[in-house]
Structure 1
Amino acid sequence: MSDAADGAGDEGRSRPEVTDTPLRVEGLSKRFGGITAVDGATFEVERGTLTGLIGPNGAGKSTTFNLITGMLTPDAGTVTFDGEDITGLEPYEIADRGLVRTFQIARELQEMTVLENMMLAPKGQRGERLWRSVLPVARRDVVDQETELLERVWEILEFFEIEHLAEEYAGNLSGGQRKLLEMARALLTDPDVLLLDEPFAGVNPTLERRLLDHIHELRDRGYTFLLVEHDMDLIMENCRHVIVMHQGRILTEGTPAEVKRDEAVIEAYLGGDV
């Protein structure tokens, strides 16, 4: 990877050393009327790993993501992040703590350029205020912050190899390019754990390989990933630990080899014995 990867990875980062398992989900449940979407889900994600969350359609994977990240409030159970109970917090509060997600359908601002989309992502920006406009020192602080932010934006765009699209409107990007932009925006928030919801959906094989390469490099630099994906082969080839959901419950978890041999997994995916 280029020097840009260094800027996208360790530079300026201060990782909490609270626990080797930053994300813990215990007894998580959610009902929609008479339908139980998530039923007592319990699992952990180890720091610095790429963990896969798989299951047939309707297994409850995306709902679990929504519960973890505050998009939905669980009926029961807890979500703990770096030792803190974050159950029921607002999505922005969870993201501010370093637990950030992407979406199955990219949510870029289509009428803004790639660069403008990126500049909106980071937290803690000072922004424009009346008092800043009349105090020279305050104005310099804002300019310095914007300069530093712009440098980091370009580093991450280069890391994801989309710097040539900086002035392109996000609405004109292909599906794969939008996935790259969304992951770049997520990385710019300086997360500790990234939850990726179907990051390869609608992505051609070439871009899929690029995305995987970026994910593996970031994991090697200390980032932690929880990945929802329908493609079992992709999960088995790229994840060290795999969690399988079925009908809202955790069916099993383990190494790819262990999960492949599990008869309950075979039955859940294929509807019978093999």
Structure 2
Amino acid sequence: MSEQAAGSATETGDRTTTGDESTVVDSPPPLRVTDLEKHFGGITAVDGVSFDVHEGTLTGLIGPNGAGKSTAFDCITGVYTPDAGTVEFNGEDITGLEPFEICNRGLVRTFQIARELEKMTVLENLMLAPAGQRGESLWQSVTPIARRGVAAEERELRERVWETLEFFEIDHLAASYAGTLSGGQRKLLELSRALMTDPDVVLLDEPLAGVNPSLEKKLLERIHDLREEGYTFLLVEHDMDVIMTHCERVIVMHQGRKLAEGTPAEITSNERVIDAYLGGEV
């Protein structure tokens, strides 16, 4: 939903009603998770979890270590195949698809430990990210006319890469090998690389872990900038101040199950959450 539309509409479940009560517009969430389950032997890591992520929002997913957050991310993005339940993205059932197939549909993720290509430069990491590049084809690389098309595409791609590097303020690192970056710089690189795939929804797995306060502030600013451009985010983060300050909705997992869901104010006043996750303190 665009910023303008968001200001004139009220979400009601999966329906959006405008100021004109006679007009009701269907607005299914871009990401819907229903009764998701994942087992590892006798251990149930994710146990019947259901939630929606609505367009243009920053939704937080929290819970103690072992709550099943990262496993849920892995099931949503194809790293693991769920044992039960469904994942719908933009109205399509993507349950069990390969990670690259899910990414090509516009649902991408970052990892708690950044997975950059260490022996390639920052620039090269971003150049590789978009799928379907014509230069990957042998025929395109040997035919003169096709080569000109590939060269034009590469020029356009390089412009996009530089725009992205400048947006994240890491353009000065373009020629640096990814393996030489600091932890915070790697997080910026990973999010930059995710953005190069033209996603609709981005899943962030602890993007602020190991990031110094200066880079943390920069990363959060960029996430909010991207939301204003229409991107949607689902964020796993242990820093409760970040979650409660920056997210509109918060989903709480505990022992593989969804314990609660609501606004930050609702979550911080939820007795079950306080007892199970916050240790009796808000």
Fold in common (TM above 0.5): yes
Which residue of the partner structure matches residue 28 of structure 1?
36
Whether 1:245 and 2:253 are equivalent positions in the alignment is yes
TM-score of the aligned structures, taking structure 2 as reference length: 0.89
CA contact (8 A) 2:28 2:91 kept: no
- SS of 2:184's partner is helix
Whether 1:37 and 2:7 are equivalent positions in the alignment is no
Whether 1:174 and 2:178 are equivalent positions in the alignment is no
Deviation at 1:130, TM superposition (A): 4.4
CA contact (8 A) 1:19 1:82 kept: no
Deviation at 1:134, TM superposition (A): 4.3
Partner Cα separation in structure 2 for residue 112 and residue 128 of structure 1: 18
Whether 1:147 and 2:160 are equivalent positions in the alignment is no
Which residue of the partner structure matches residue 13 of structure 1?
none
Equivalent residue in structure 2 for 1:194, among 192, 202, 207: 202
CA contact (8 A) 1:243 1:253 kept: yes
Flag structure 1 segments of 5+ consecutive residues without an equivalent. 1-16
Which residue of the partner structure matches residue 185 of structure 1?
193
Quote the sequence identity (%).
73
Counterpart of 1:152 in structure 2: which amino acid?
A: R
Which residue of the partner structure matches residue 82 of structure 1?
90
Deviation at 1:225, TM superposition (A): 0.2
TM-score of the aligned structures, taking structure 1 as reference length: 0.91
Mark the CA change 1:20 to 1:130 in structure 2 (over 3 Å): closer, same or farther: closer
Partner Cα separation in structure 1 for residue 26 and residue 165 of structure 2: 30
Deviation at 1:93, TM superposition (A): 0.5
Whether 1:236 and 2:247 are equivalent positions in the alignment is no
Partner Cα separation in structure 1 for residue 83 and residue 149 of structure 2: 45
Partner Cα separation in structure 1 for residue 62 and residue 281 of structure 2: 19
CA contact (8 A) 1:30 1:74 kept: yes
CA contact (8 A) 1:18 1:83 kept: no
Deviation at 1:245, TM superposition (A): 0.4
Partner Cα separation in structure 2 for residue 43 and residue 80 of structure 1: 11
How many residue pairs get aligned? The number is: 258
Deviation at 1:132, TM superposition (A): 3.1
Equivalent residue in structure 2 for 1:127, among 131, 135, 140: 135
Q: Mean alpha-carbon deviation: is it higher for 111-120 or for 176-185? A: 111-120
Which residue of the partner structure matches residue 99 of structure 1?
107
Partner Cα separation in structure 2 for residue 41 and residue 167 of structure 1: 43
Counterpart of 2:113 in structure 1: which amino acid?
A: I
RMSD: 1.5
- SS of 2:204's partner is strand
1:165-220: CA deviations, max 9, x gaps? Answer: 00001010000000000000000000000000000000001100000000001001
